[in-house]
Amino acid sequence: MIIERLREYADAETPTGDATALNAFADRLAERYAGLGATVRRVPMPTGDHLVADFPGRGPQADAAPLLFLGHHDTVWPIGQLADAMPWREEDGIIHGPGVFDMKGGLVVLETALEQVADQDHRPVRIVVVADEEVGSPSARDLVTAESKGVYAAFGLEPPHPNGDLKTSRWGSTRVRIEITGREAHAALDPASGISAIDELVDQLIAIRQIITQYDEVLCNVGTITGGGRTNVVPGSAAADIGFRFVDPSTEKAVLAAVETLHAVRAAQLQVRVMSNRPAWQPSAATDELLTKVIAAGQSVGQQVGGAAASGAADTNLTGWLGIPTLDGLGPVGKGAHAVHEQVIAATLAERVALVAAIITAL
């Protein structure tokens, strides 16, 4: 049943920003969570609705602080990816398809675990599923912050490390857009009256590279560049989206301050905008203590659980940064996030269900 559910979810393609597709998928989740006993609240957003589902506790801890599970239903894949390049297939115990690893597998794991513990004693459980995680959750940050208040611990349903270890900290992640406005002119007849936005953008990207060379642990990826239109026209506009990764808040603050105070080299207009930000989630004693409890929960179902730092970012960055005991990586084991070979090991779906169920009932 769990594999069939995952196929159903993979078949429903949900690219970030496609509100129609995302809201249709949110309908499925809302119905599923309500059927499992949750009170479901929808948070409308222009780019796709977020969901909050609250499951009541049972037994002695019915009124205790809830466990928070964070997930997302958007993927990096466009509509048509399933048919054109990444058809669902299950071969030799491996499941292939868009979103099976990042992170519809994690969504299926959680709901199946909740089904299994429905008649057992446990704390209340809160689920927040956001619609724009793949672009940094710009519309969901306030929601995650609000729903994190008063929780006992937070867990992410993102993919684990390749060996199945959970994630105990994450680098910070910030998306920055550099926009240049120059002045168009004929590139041959009157080039001197033009101001090349593309030339200015190139110079600014070089300046950014020089900034990050001053720090040991900063990642910088220029993800998109746009600008210009014709080779006989001096380009009047250009832009680049840049992804930064930071190991600690102080480095993040210093680098972003330097980037935000860049000055134009020529008489162009330059604007720097932060599109999304996830602060660094650093190792903590609270998370170490939580991992110890999860290790014990894993042992109760015959599993060895480990934990390690991660460089990728997710919504758990925020809960970890807020000081909430946090672990991520409860999705199934696999590989190929954001790649055409995206896949999960089928047997680990049931293993992760058992682990999540044990966590819910043990904490």
What's the number of domains the chain is made of?
Answer: 2
Q: State which of 278, 306, 324 marks the end of a domain.
A: 278
pLDDT single digits (tens) 31-58: 999 999 999 999 999 999 999 999 999 9
Which residue is listed with tokens 């559910």?
A: 5
Q: Which of the following is catalytic: 13, 18, 49, 74? A: 74
The average pLDDT across 207-229 equals 95
The average pLDDT across 124-147 equals 97
Q: Is 304 within 8 Å of 165 (Cβ atoms)?
A: no
Q: Residues, the chain, total?
A: 363
* Residues 12 and 128 both lie in one domain: yes
DSSP 3-state helix, strand, coil percentages of the chain (rounded to 5)? 35, 25, 35
* pLDDT over threshold 90, residue 216: no
pLDDT at 10: 97
The average pLDDT across 244-266 equals 95
pTM, 2 dp? 0.92
Q: Can you give the residue range of the structural domain that contains 167?
A: 2-171+280-362
pLDDT single digits (tens) 277-333: 999 999 999 999 999 999 999 999 999 999 999 999 999 999 999 999 999 999 999
* Residues 180 and 163 both lie in one domain: no
* Residues 184 and 285 both lie in one domain: no
Can you give the CATH number for the domain in which 94 is found? 3.40.630.10
Q: State which of 245, 261, 278 marks the end of a domain.
A: 278
* Residues 204 and 228 both lie in one domain: yes
Q: State which of 278, 313, 343 marks the end of a domain.
A: 278
Distance CA 42, CA 49 (A): 7
Q: How confident is the model at residue 101 (pLDDT cuts 50, 70, 90)?
A: very high
Burial 79-97 (b: 16+ CB within 10 A, else e): eebbeeebeeebeeebbbb
Residue 310: closest CA among 286, 329, 323: 329
Task: Annotate 217-284 with three-state secondary structure.
Answer: CEEEEEEEEEECCCCCECCCEEEEEEEEEECCHHHHHHHHHHHHCCCCCCCCEEEEEEEEEECCECCC
* Residues 313 and 334 both lie in one domain: yes
Calculate what percentage of the chain has a pLDDT beyond 90. Answer: 98
How confident is the prediction for the chain on average, in pLDDT? 97
* Residues 52 and 160 both lie in one domain: yes
User: Does the active-site annotation cover 74?
Assistant: yes
DSSP 8-class letter at 160: -
Can you give the CATH number for the domain in which 193 is found? 3.30.70.360
Q: Which of the following is catalytic: 133, 134, 147, 179? A: 133
The average pLDDT across 150-174 equals 97
